[in-house]
Structure 1
Amino acid sequence: MSPILVTELTARLGRWSAGRGPLYLLLAARLRELIDDGELPPGTGLPTDRALAAALSAGRTTVVAAYDLLRDEGRLVRRQGSGTWVAGAAPAPPSTAEPTTDPIFLHLLDQPDHVTQFACAGPLTPPPALLSAYRRALDDVGGGLGYHPAGHPRLRRALADRFRASPGEFLVTTGGQQALSLLTRALVAPGDEVVVQAPTYPGMLEVLREHAAVAVPVPADGSGFAAALARRPAFGYLIAACHNPTGRHLDEPRRLEIVAASRRAGVPLVVDDVLAELSFEGRPAVSTGAITVGSLSKVVWGGLRVGWVHAPAPLINRLARLKAVHDLGGGVLDQLAASYLVGDLSALSAARAGELRERHDHLCAELRRRLPSWTFEPASGGQTLWVRLPYGDAAAYAQAALRHGVAVLPGGQLDPTGGSHDRLRLPFVAEPAEITAAVASLARAWQGYTGEAARPSLPAIAV
């Protein structure tokens, strides 16, 4: 496929720089739209950094950073001396360069049978309670249109009973991921700032990229979060319990400090409680005064796509209108089954947390035995360990691990500062025997890894 002329691409980009925030994010957002909408088909050659920068009256570093960001997302292919083109079915010129590691969602789209998935975390087998809940739900399916954009009334009542609130304060979503997407769409304009921890849940960073938002990172322990809220960002995104990826909890004084700061500044605070039920120490108390996101995907099963937003009724009504445009509401049978599961959530989460605690301890023991130079802090809950490599680059090591049959998630994909390139996120959701085999493969990959293929970081505030 022939390359696109720089004048034609400039015309298609339109008013790409009209939003707020770093220019490279705005440029990347517009290019992403053109690629995803098919206006730049696979194999299309893009202008050189220098030519496009001149045509846009922008700095060359702006174009380089935008291209590199889209390359790391898998949308562009860049080779030294061969140019830049849209990734896809068109054949790429031969190269000995290492491929970049796929973003987290690409691990879900492409799951080779011979690769152990240590990149994604979640229950691998649904519990018997799920089948029982569906059997009960089948007897409850009635008539009517079946459209419930805000969620089935029975599930909203079950959530209200669980969290001692009003049914009108809950929106049922297609998993926690849709909850984050809807909230971001409602609260953010292109170029707006959002305070996040570094590192944080990579799915949220993907949502911020899609909306051309600017991540304002603070340490994972929450220090600096309150001060960042004083800048009046669009909202703050906080994982207070069973933090993804570190598995740690924020202490209660820090949580209260952050909630108080959000109230003073009049800034919405979104607390991601998807993993909070999986604490090894009992469910930590969640500070009030925030918008919370929950889900059954980590306690029950990822295939049960039921999540929720708990927020003041006016915001819930606004989110319901947005969700209606997307899908008119979730499946009735799924929501009826979920209503029974929510009613038994304490017992389900306690059983799941106990199972995860055993597998966490097993993973820690295997890492200490086979990879003693790797360091980590044991988790307080959740599903993952945050592991530090003694040298080298985690993204480069992930390629070596993949060749040994294990897919792992390098830390750079979870860190909006552009750091954490010496870190890996390792889940402990599999059976102990599978964890043992996976760590053995990681150890074999580590034996042949020299640490010489480190990649440069993106700009420090990349989301």
Structure 2
Amino acid sequence: MTTDPAELADRLGRWSSGRGPLYLLLAARLRRLVDDGELRPGAALPPDRVLASALAVGRGTVVAAYEQLRVEGRIVRRQGSGTRVAGPARPGPRETTGAPVFLHLLEQQADDVILLACAAPAEPPPVLLTAYERALSHLAEVTGDIGYHPSGHRQLRDVVADHYTRRGVPTGPEQVLVTNGGQQALSLLARAFVEPGGGVLVEAPTYPGALEAFGEQAASLRTLPPGLHGFEATTRPPSRRPELAYVVSTHHNPTGSVLPPLARRRLAAAAAADVPLVDDEVLAHLAFPGQETPPPLAAFGETVMTVGSLSKSVWGGLRVGWIRAAKPVIDRLARLRAVHDLGGNLPAQLAAAELLPRLETLCQGMAADRRTRHDHLRAQLARQLPQWQAPRVTGGQTLWVRLPHGDGDWAACTATAHSVCGEYGTTTRRWHGVSLSHTHRNRSDTALRTRSASYAEDMTSWWADRDGSPAPAPPRSASRPMVAASGRMWLAASPVRGLRSGGPGDEQPQGSRAAPAAASPQASAEWAGARRRPGRHPSLHRSAAGPRVGTAHGFSAR
């Protein structure tokens, strides 16, 4: 069976970001995949033209790379038989994730590449050091505690419970499970509620880490526009009722939208019938000055499960997250967690307990800077890329930008040639948009205006290059919307330099395709334009359950 070019593009990562001829860079990355066993002996590699299309390079680059590996004895090429990894075919270990959303964290970071795949604080705030100092003083007084707390340290669980109670959701510590970040929270929820082949309803586009967590359970992803509009009609037939639904209700990742109060009430009421609903609130406290943080969905429905984390609001290195849910759910999740992880880092949890009561004040203190970056990036884009549409948002760390033509897949590969580098992956249905993060600082810490101007100039450069190349296939018309079907594409970049991609999908684990969800006229206008193409290139995310959808925004490793 031939290796899927989309999956291979994911595995290749940032292969073109080094120095030297492209064919040598490609050969080097393929060599590593072969030597590491990622490409198994006997595995059939994609044909020259197909892989070249997936990587957005000329066929000659792939031919030369293959020839280099053939001379080294790592692959075998025979006319009529294709290209295969040298050696007899044999079963290998279980495949690991190929999603760039995670693989980029494992890449060696080159000095001349600034990664902007994560829209998150670029450095820990000074208040975190103070919190750790207080936490360590408390730790010195601990006696009679072996340190294993699968449900989380009681002090932090009390603080999280108080946090939700202040926001209008009465909560006790028995309703809180502390996790090692929001990503572990999503993984636990997926293991608890999703059976192989079971349906999971997600937004399109959405946070790719959630798609990977559901994909690990071999979920069948079904999609709706942001806010899960159409939820009631989609879940009404018992045969269509999903096992789980996932929504980012506040400062949606990637579009930045905020679900209105009435829509929150309706969604919570509809989900209460029989569909467990997860409300991802990791971005909830990133409102700009003058904007109110809305109540969580749990304020409108007791059955809603809420995921929180400090990775976006404080720092990604503070691996503390949590799940707020009914006590029976928390007890079940704690038993699942105990098998894989006997408990989190206690000093970090104690530091989080110091920070959480002051979280709103901390976020408000950084809100003006986030809005300044947001406004300046929009101004630079309007001046240098007036064809791009970048609607204003009310919070978060990114912009959602609509491209006038083409798609983010193509743009990502072209941008890479201009050192606007990001994550790699593939997609079968692309969205005509990119997501730009405005959170990262230049390594030399130059002025924000200089960083944003430099970034916009790079974007202008590769966009001009794109316009001088053959135009991509025309998008689907709005009359045939593919609302978040199964693309894996997205792009995220920052005012400095960087690009990434990903998105959600609805393909079956075995590769069969489910029909795309129906779209409202408004959703059609906003989300239409996805299209299929067998060859895709290296800038996008991939779900373990199948390709993903839509362009995404500054992803966060949670």
- Category of TM-score, reference length = shorter chain: 0.7 to 0.9
Specify which of 203, 209, 218 is matched with residue 212 of structure 1: 218
Could you tell me how far apart the structure 2 residues matched to 1:39 and 1:409 are? 21
Deviation at residue 47 of structure 1 after TM alignment: 6.0
Tell me, yes or no, if structure 1 residue 357 matches structure 2 residue 371.
yes
Contact conserved, 2:161 with 2:172, CA < 8 A, in 1?
yes
Name the amino acid aligned to 2:160: L
Deviation at residue 117 of structure 1 after TM alignment: 2.1
1:114 equivalent in structure 2: 112
**Most deviating of 429-438 and 382-391:** 429-438
2:123 equivalent in structure 1: 125
1:435 equivalent in structure 2: 452
Contact conserved, 1:409 with 1:424, CA < 8 A, in 2?
no
Contact conserved, 1:396 with 1:453, CA < 8 A, in 2?
no
Contact conserved, 1:274 with 1:293, CA < 8 A, in 2?
yes
Classify 1:273/1:412 alpha carbon distance in 2 versus 1 (closer, same or farther; 3 Å).
farther
Deviation at residue 118 of structure 1 after TM alignment: 2.8
Name the amino acid aligned to 2:321: G
Specify which of 267, 277, 280 is matched with residue 272 of structure 1: 280
Higher relative contact order structure (alpha carbons within 8 Å, sequence separation ≥ 6): 2
TM-score with structure 2 setting the length: 0.64
Deviation at residue 45 of structure 1 after TM alignment: 3.1
User: Which segments of 5 or more consecutive residues in structure 1 lack a partner in the other structure?
Assistant: 5-35, 50-66, 73-78, 84-88, 96-100
Contact conserved, 1:387 with 1:425, CA < 8 A, in 2?
yes
User: Which segments of 5 or more consecutive residues in structure 2 lack a partner in the other structure?
Assistant: 3-32, 56-61, 67-71, 83-97, 166-170, 442-447, 476-485, 488-506, 508-512, 515-546, 549-558
Name the amino acid aligned to 2:217: H
In the TM superposition, 1:85-96 aligns within 5 A as none
Contact conserved, 2:116 with 2:440, CA < 8 A, in 1?
no
Could you tell me how far apart the structure 2 residues matched to 1:445 and 1:105 are? 26
RMSD of aligned residue pairs (Cα, Å): 3.3
In the alignment of these two chains, the number of paired residues is 388
In the TM superposition, 1:287-326 aligns within 5 A as 287-288=297-298, 289=301, 290-326=304-340
Specify which of 200, 223, 241 is matched with residue 232 of structure 1: 241
2:271 equivalent in structure 1: 262
Name the amino acid aligned to 2:172: S
Contact conserved, 1:124 with 1:430, CA < 8 A, in 2?
yes
Classify 1:321/1:90 alpha carbon distance in 2 versus 1 (closer, same or farther; 3 Å).
farther
1:444 equivalent in structure 2: 461
Could you tell me how far apart the structure 1 residues matched to 2:205 and 2:113 are? 26
Deviation at residue 221 of structure 1 after TM alignment: 4.2
Name the amino acid aligned to 1:205: L
**C-alpha offsets along residues 312-365 of structure 1, whole Å, 9 cap, x if unaligned?**
111111111111122211111000000001111110121233321111111111
Contact conserved, 2:100 with 2:424, CA < 8 A, in 1?
no
1:368 equivalent in structure 2: 382
Contact conserved, 1:43 with 1:91, CA < 8 A, in 2?
no
Could you tell me how far apart the structure 2 residues matched to 1:452 and 1:173 are? 48
**Most deviating of 136-145 and 111-120:** 111-120
2:444 equivalent in structure 1: none
TM-score with structure 1 setting the length: 0.76
Identity %: 43
Contact conserved, 1:193 with 1:215, CA < 8 A, in 2?
yes
Could you tell me how far apart the structure 2 residues matched to 1:90 and 1:157 are? 61
Deviation at residue 92 of structure 1 after TM alignment: 6.6
Contact conserved, 2:135 with 2:350, CA < 8 A, in 1?
yes
Contact conserved, 1:412 with 1:421, CA < 8 A, in 2?
no
Name the amino acid aligned to 2:438: F
Secondary structure (helix, strand or coil) at the match of 2:466 reads: coil
Tell me, yes or no, if structure 1 residue 241 matches structure 2 residue 238.
no
Name the amino acid aligned to 1:275: L
Specify which of 132, 135, 148 is matched with residue 133 of structure 2: 135
Deviation at residue 370 of structure 1 after TM alignment: 1.4
Classify 1:454/1:116 alpha carbon distance in 2 versus 1 (closer, same or farther; 3 Å).
farther
Classify 1:449/1:276 alpha carbon distance in 2 versus 1 (closer, same or farther; 3 Å).
same
Classify 1:268/1:345 alpha carbon distance in 2 versus 1 (closer, same or farther; 3 Å).
same
Name the amino acid aligned to 1:435: S
Name the amino acid aligned to 1:260: A
Could you tell me how far apart the structure 1 residues matched to 2:221 and 2:252 are? 18
Could you tell me how far apart the structure 2 residues matched to 1:90 and 1:309 are? 51
Secondary structure (helix, strand or coil) at the match of 2:151 reads: coil
1:348 equivalent in structure 2: 362
Tell me, yes or no, if structure 1 residue 422 matches structure 2 residue 432.
yes
Bigger fraction of residues in helix: 1
1:392 equivalent in structure 2: 406
Tell me, yes or no, if structure 1 residue 166 matches structure 2 residue 175.
no
Could you tell me how far apart the structure 1 residues matched to 2:396 and 2:76 are? 43
Could you tell me how far apart the structure 2 residues matched to 1:46 and 1:434 are? 44
